[in-house]
Every structure is written in structure tokens, then in C-alpha cells.
A and B are shown apart, each in its own frame.
Chain A
Amino acid sequence: MTELIERAAAADTPAVELSMQQAINRALRVLLAEDPDVLVFGEDVGALGGVFRVTDGLQEEFGDKRVFDTPLAESAIMGMAVGLAMNGWRPVPELQFDGFAYPAIDQIVNQVARMNYRTRGAAPMPITLRLPSFGGIQAPEHHGESLEALFAHTPGLKVVAPSDPGDAYSLMLQAVRSDDPVVYMEPKARYWDRRPVRLREPSDPIGTSRIVRPGRHATLVAWGAMVQRCVQVAELAAEDGVDLEVLDLRWLKPLDAEGLAASVSRTRRAVVVHEAPLTAGLGAEVAALVTEHCFRDLSAPVQRVTGFDVPYPAGPLEPQYLPTIDRVLLAVQRTLEY
């Protein structure tokens, strides 16, 4: 841990203005440069630089042996990652869109997640699956999905969803350096959001949440693109004298039960916000953890503001499907008035 902190201090850079897509690109550059075993591959990640340009320039800089295009077959991409890992590589495959992870579910769930277990540690899977995720860009069907509950429910996988460029950078370093398989869910809606960021080495252990905005009256719990939405809600609520804390879970597995409990024990109220459908979503896990850890401190039941139990809808309907600022504000009101 001391070593981590020292490395973090040494590697800190002055603030630069970057989008999340650029920040992840910077992290991949660092990883490719520091570890000759890191390989970046997937559909269109080479000359094109990925459909979101996250791998822009990487093939040029590191060559087509380290950064390469594959044919279009998600299951084989993940199966290939397994074989590469068994041959000592550290694969960072991309599946182009979240909905295209479904064709690869067998490899992800039956193979990647279980190989270390099946082989009793003889075949570790230091694979980071980069998965552009969630909605908010009014994309065609299968180009906006929320698979986090599926992955978090799968023994052997770790799952992370960054919410801003700086965190995306650190979390990517952490994910790829981890010897466990990590599903790294990149919120597409936040890719182009530019802000001054300090590129930091990871300093918190895997599975640590962070308080994005401290507050006293209720905790908004979110991840990915919904974190920014919750910050907007908190700013609006502040105008009415309501002081909301925003907790970015970041890691959806392992999920930071302690950080969650510490926040909600203080504020006594929690609203969990996610894009995925309500039923059996991670909001239920958050609600259960809050109940287990904070039952006596709670002033109101946990509120869930989520997508509806319908498929991600087409363009004009998507804003009505995703949790709106108004819906979150209403949930805040319900919890405060309970």
C-alpha cells in the first residue's frame, strides 16, 4: 500500500483538459508501455482507433502485434483472450458495444470468470474487458445496454464503471494490472465530457467507492453516467436548502458495503439511481446492503430510481426511459418526507 501511494505521488501530473475517451486512451498508453505482455484487440481498434476512438493512435505507437483488429465475432474475441492469458499475456479486449457482449456471454461467464477456479489457480485470467456501456446517446438497438447486474452476479468477475475522466484513467490502470478478470464498463454518454483532470496512479484498493459530493440530508448512490446526473440533482436540491451526498460506487463488484454504510449511516436516507431495469437490478443489492448495515439509522426506506422493466427504447423514448432529474428529485422528496 505504501508503495502504491509513493508511486501515485511520483506519477501525478498537472491538470490537463481531457475527455474520458482520451483519458482511457492515456491509460492504455501507459499500460502498453509499462508491460510488454499487455495486448489490445477487438473489432476496429487498430487503424480506426475504435468506434469511440478510445484506442486512437495505439496501433501506430505500439505496432500491430500489440494492438490489432480481430474478425467480427465476440465469442471468439473473448475465447482468444482466454488462450492468450493461458500463454502468459495480459489481454485487454474490446467488445464494441454492450449489446454485443451477449454473443460472448458463454466465454465471459463459463470460461473467463471460472478458469482460475477450474484450474485451481494454474490458469489465471488477467483480462480486462473494455465494454462501452449504458445509454444516453440515443443509439440503435443493442448499442445501449446495462449489463452490470449480470456481470456482478457472475462469480469470478470484478466489475467497474467510471464516471469521470480522471477516475477512468486510474481505474483502467488498476483493472489491467489486476490479475483477476475485470469488466470495465465505459459510460458512452460521458466519453466526450471534457474537464481538467489530474492523471493519477490508483491509490484506493479495488472495491472502494468515493464521495463525489459530500452532503447531510440523503445519499444518492450511482455509477457510470448516472453519477453526473446525481450531481446535477444535488446542485438543484441545494438551491432549496437540501444538502445531498453523491456516492460513486465505481466498483460494482466488489461493492463497497462499508463506504455505502458509512455514508447512509450519516445521512440516514438513500436513493439509488441506475439506468438498468428495476427488477433484480443492482439497486436491489444496494438496498439490501443498506438495510443490513444501517437499519437502525434509517429514517426512510431506500428509494430506487431506475430504468423501467422494458428493453432500452429507441431514440426519442430513451430520455423517458433513463432516470430523469425530476424522477430523482421526486425520490429525494419522498425519502425526506417519509
Chain B
Amino acid sequence: MPPHTSAGRESITVDHLSPDLTRALYRHMRTARDLDTEAIALQRQGVFPAYVSVRGQEAAQVASASAMDPARDFVFPTYREMAAALAYGVEMVGYMATHRALWHGGLYDVAASRFGAVNAVVGGPVPHAVGWAVGERLRGDDGVALAYFGDGASSEGDVHEAMNFAGVFGAPVVFFCQNNQWALSVPNERQVAGGSVSARAAGYGFPGVLVDGNDAGAVYEATAEAVARARRGEGPTLVEALTYRVEPHSTSDDPGRYRDEAEVRRWRERDPLTLLRAALLAAGHADEAHLAEVDARARREAERVRDGVATAPEPDGSELFTHVFRENTKELARQRRTWQEEVEL
């Protein structure tokens, strides 16, 4: 694939992967697609104040998250990693709660999920992944951290600082850039000097890999290799998955002001789910009957999560004060009483 162009291959292959794995990738991607559709509908209905679609990025997210081990690794997301969360096994009603604005970081258990809190400062969590990974090595454990970030975040100082730290410490971390080619309204050519995020890894002394982000099999292989390297103690890898944000940046966005609809149409035709479905059938990993059944299950799961998040109770006002400190202060206790007397009523 020529780097950073929209001309991808028209088909992918998963012949080299196990049928169990490729079927699981398809199931998660299908579920994420349906849940994404439900989420956009919830926003239209006024249940979500806003939503950020992952449509078109399911292969990049599901295949990378599936290369991680939720029993010993740790994933650090930003705010557009719904499909990764789903594939990694995060409790999805709790995850989607962030989009209903029930709690900024979501309502899932970050520690038990080993999946960091939703975070809108897009470069911010990347050094967290490095710190976590350094901590893993200090203890002699073999967990690997993966940090998601985008082409926009690749401009953030924290991302560069984190990569330099990771290189210096030889930290077991995978920097996973989903290059969806648009940082809100700004395209790659006005975001990424030199034209390549993955090429920057060379400057930090570790491998950088560019992969077709709409090819689930290729993403899985590249990430699995990066994870294996890190686990062997060979340090970090930067994986850049080239994909495309086919939906607006968020439900509040108006992409007609900045990009050509023909470009979007071309990428919609390279849909990662369609590509994987065809590859599964071609590889003989699944037949139409099986896929129809998976589609139906995905539909039901997406509806379950939709109903769960739509009906989840709003947090009690007292929770304003609950988690500010582990050891509360007298002043905050006083302010909580003020809240009780003057707000709660």
C-alpha cells in the first residue's frame, strides 16, 4: 500500500490467521458497527448530548485490541476507542455512559478492565502508557501497554515526550496511531510534517510500522508482533494504521465545510467490515449462515447496550464530592453540606 493515500486494495485476506480469531474479529467489528449506529440514533433522539463515531475504524481498533491480553496488559484510550473497548472486553453499558455524559471517564471499572478512562486531552494518556509499562518492567512482570492516539494527537508534545521516554527506558509499550486522515477539519498534509507518523519511530530508536488500518488481518499481525516484541523485552513499537473517519468528527461537526464528499464515498466503499466479511468467506473461515447468525447476535448485543445506557440511572448529586480525594477534607465536607442544604433540597 502506498503510504498515506486513499487508494487501498480492493480485497484483503485472512488466510494466515486462525478461523476462531477471524470470526471473533468479525463479531466484534459487527457489534461495534451496530452499536455505533445505535449511538448516533441516541444522539439524534437527544439521549446523548453528542457522540463520536468509530465507523470505518473498526478494523484498526478491534484487531489491535484483540492482540492484547486483558489478563495482564493495559490499554490507554483517548475518546474514540469504542470498538477497541468492546473487543478488549470492557463492560459496554459503562463505557457508553461517557457519551450519555453520565460520568466523564465512563462508568466501567478502569482497574478491573485494564482499560484506561476515556480522555479528551488526546496526547495526555500516551505518557501514562509509558509509565505503566516502565512500572511493569520494574516489577519484573511481562505486561504490555498500548496507547491509542490519532494523527491529530501525533502533533502533541506529550506524544513525542512519551516516545522518547519509551525509547530511553526500553519500555514494553505499543504506540498505536489510528491515522484517520482528519484531525477534526485539518487533513494529514496540514497536520503531519514529513508525511508519516510511523517514520518518526526511527528518530526514537524503535521500529515504526505502517499498516492498512482497514485490513483487520494486517492490523492484527502488526500489533501482535509489536506486543510480542515488547513482551520479549525488546522495547516499544509504533504502529500507524492508515484508515479514514467516514463520519463527521462528532455529531456536532459539519464536514461539508472542509472536505470533499467524493473522498468520503471512496473510503466508505473500502469498508473494513465488508472487506473482512468477504475475506472470511474466501478463506472458508465462515459461511453465509454462520455470518447471518453472528450478525443477528451483534444486533441483539448492540440493542442490549443501547437499552442499558439509555435507561441507566443518572448519578446522584452527592457523587460530585465522592471521589475528589481518597481522604476527604473538612472543607469539601462543608461544601457537600452546602450542596445538601442549598441544591439538593
Minimum C-beta distance from A57 to chain B (A): 20
Interface status of B52 (Cβ within 8 A of chain A): no
A71 vs B163: C-alpha distance in the bound complex, in angstroms? 11
Q: Using an 8 Å CB-CB cutoff, how does the interface string of A230-258 with B read, 1 for contact, 0 for none?
A: 00000000000000000000000111011
Given A83-B132, A87-B136, also A76-B323 (CB < 8 A)? no
Bound state CA distance, A124 and B324, in angstroms? 10
A287 beta carbon closer than 8 Å to chain B? no
Complex-state Cα separation, A119 to B330, whole angstroms: 23
6 closest A-B pairs (Cβ-Cβ)?
A: A83-B131, A79-B127, A87-B135, A80-B131, A118-B105, A76-B161
From A115, which residue of chain B is reached at the shortest CB distance? B117
Report which of B112, B121, B134, B135 forms a contact with A122, defined as CB distance below 8 A: B112
- A83 to B135, Cβ gap below 8 A? yes
A91 to B131, CA, bound (A): 10
In A97-152, the 8 Å CB interface with B consists of 106-107, 110-111, 115-124
Bound Cα distance A238, B136 (Å): 58
Would you call A79 and B131 a contact (CB within 8 A)? yes
CB-CB under 8 A from A6, the residues of chain B are none
A73 and B165 within 8 A (CB) = yes
> Residues of A contacting B177 with CB < 8 Å?
none
Q: Please tell me if B158 contacts chain A, counting CB pairs below 8 Å.
A: yes
Residues of chain A within 8 A (CB-CB) of B126 are 79
Contact B323 A120, beta carbon cutoff 8 Å: yes
State whether A83 touches B133 (Cβ < 8 A): yes
- Interface of A, secondary structure class, is mixed
**Which chain A residues border B112 with CB–CB below 8 Å?**
122
Contact with A along B101-142 (1 / 0, CB 8 A): 001110101111000110101001111111111111011000
**How far in angstroms is the closest Cβ of chain A from B61?**
21
User: Quick check: B165 and A70 within 8 Å, CB to CB?
Assistant: yes
Using a CB–CB distance below 8 Å, which chain A residues touch chain B? 39, 65, 70-71, 73, 75-76, 78-89, 91, 106-107, 110-111, 115-124, 155-156, 158, 178-180, 206-207, 253-255, 257-258
Interface contact tally, CB-CB below 8 A: 148
Q: With A110-B124, A158-B325 known to touch, is A118 a contact of B104 (CB < 8 Å)? A: yes
Q: Which residue of B lies closest to A39 (CB)?
A: B138
Quick check: A86 and B116 within 8 Å, CB to CB? Answer: yes
What chain A residues lie within 8 Å of B139 (beta carbons)? 87-88
Residues of B within 8 A of A79 (CB): 124, 126-128, 130-131, 158, 161-162
A14 CB, min distance to chain B CBs, angstroms: 31
With A80-B165, A86-B74 already in contact, the answer to whether A75 and B105 are too (CB < 8 A) is: no
User: How far apart are B150's CB and chain A's nearest CB, in angstroms?
Assistant: 17
Partner of B129 from the list A70, A83, A85, A257 (CB cut-off 8 Å) is A83
Chain B residues, CB < 8 A from A83: 76, 127-135, 145
Residue of A nearest to B111 (CB): A122
Given the known A-B contacts A118-B104, A120-B107, are A80 and B326 also in contact in the complex, defined by CB atoms under 8 Å?
A: no
A85: chain B residues at CB < 8 Å are 131
28 contacts between A and B (CB under 8 A): A70-B165, A70-B168, A71-B161, A71-B164, A73-B165, A75-B158, A80-B128, A82-B127, A82-B131, A83-B132, A84-B131, A86-B111, A86-B128, A107-B127, A110-B124, A116-B323, A116-B324, A119-B105, A120-B103, A121-B326, A122-B110, A158-B325, A158-B329, A178-B326, A179-B327, A254-B329, A254-B330, A254-B331
Whether A118 touches B329, Cβ cut-off 8 Å, given contacts A75-B158, A82-B128, is no
Nearest chain A CB to B144 CB, angstrom units: 12
Chain B 311-331: CB-based contact to A (< 8 A → 1; otherwise 0)? 000000001001111110111
B157 at the interface (CB under 8 A from A): yes
* New A-B contacts (18) at CB < 8 Å, excluding given A83-B133, A121-B322, A257-B330: A39-B138, A71-B161, A71-B165, A76-B130, A76-B165, A79-B130, A82-B127, A83-B129, A86-B128, A88-B139, A111-B125, A115-B117, A116-B324, A120-B322, A122-B111, A156-B324, A178-B327, A206-B327
